[in-house]
């Protein structure tokens, strides 16, 4: 989760750079047309967009790996619980009703892994964006 938070913070910073570059160019379009070089403006915008794309892919790789692992765990959980229940049933320790309950609980837990992973990733991604905003808006106090 801390890696998702950090990558989200870097992605938010790159997105702010793209937005700032475009807004700055459009807001000052008359000055840009009169004094700027087209190549410089294009290159700056394309570099900002390329950086944002790279940061988004970095974030997506971590998010995909996290979701893949949780879904894998969610797939293994019912097999393990029902398999364990069948083994205990074969030794006479539990009844057929216990197997049904274990299956129902394990399926519900398995289905919840997607919801939990999405919620956790959203929380940590938002924390990363908040940290980027705080870092951008608040500068450290300097005492003389």
The pLDDT of residue 57: 92
Per-residue pLDDT of the chain (144 residues), as tens digits, is 777 878 888 888 888 888 888 887 778 777 777 776 667 777 888 888 899 899 989 988 988 888 888 888 888 988 999 999 999 999 989 898 898 999 999 888 888 887 887 888 888 888 888 887 787 777 777 766
Contact 131, 5 (CB under 8 A): yes
How far apart are the C-alpha atoms of 40 and 12, rounded to whole Å? 24
Contact 73, 114 (CB under 8 A): no
Distances (CA, A) of 135 to 25, 48, 128, 131: 24, 19, 11, 6
The pLDDT of residue 144: 60
Cα pseudo-dihedral 51, 44, 137, 54, rounded to 10: 0
How far apart are the C-alpha atoms of 50 and 136, rounded to whole Å? 21
Q: What six digits make up the tokens of 31?
A: 């000055």
Domain map (residue ranges) of the chain:
2-134
First vs last C-alpha separation in the chain: 39
């Amino acid at each position: 989760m801390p890696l998702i938070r950090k990558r989200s913070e870097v992605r938010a910073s790159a997105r702010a750079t793209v937005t700032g570059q475009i807004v700055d160019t459009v807001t000052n379009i008359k000055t840009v047309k009169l004094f700027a070089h087209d190549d410089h403006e294009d290159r700056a915008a394309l570099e900002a967009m390329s950086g944002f794309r790279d940061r988004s892919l970095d974030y997506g790789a971590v998010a995909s790996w996290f979701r893949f692992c949780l879904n894998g765990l969610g797939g293994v959980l019912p097999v393990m619980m029902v398999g364990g229940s069948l083994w205990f049933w074969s030794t006479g320790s539990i009844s057929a009703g216990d197997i049904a309950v274990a299956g129902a609980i394990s399926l519900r837990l398995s289905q919840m892994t997607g919801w939990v992973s999405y919620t956790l990733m959203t929380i940590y991604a938002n924390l990363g964006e908040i940290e980027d905003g705080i870092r951008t808006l608040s500068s450290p106090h300097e005492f003389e």
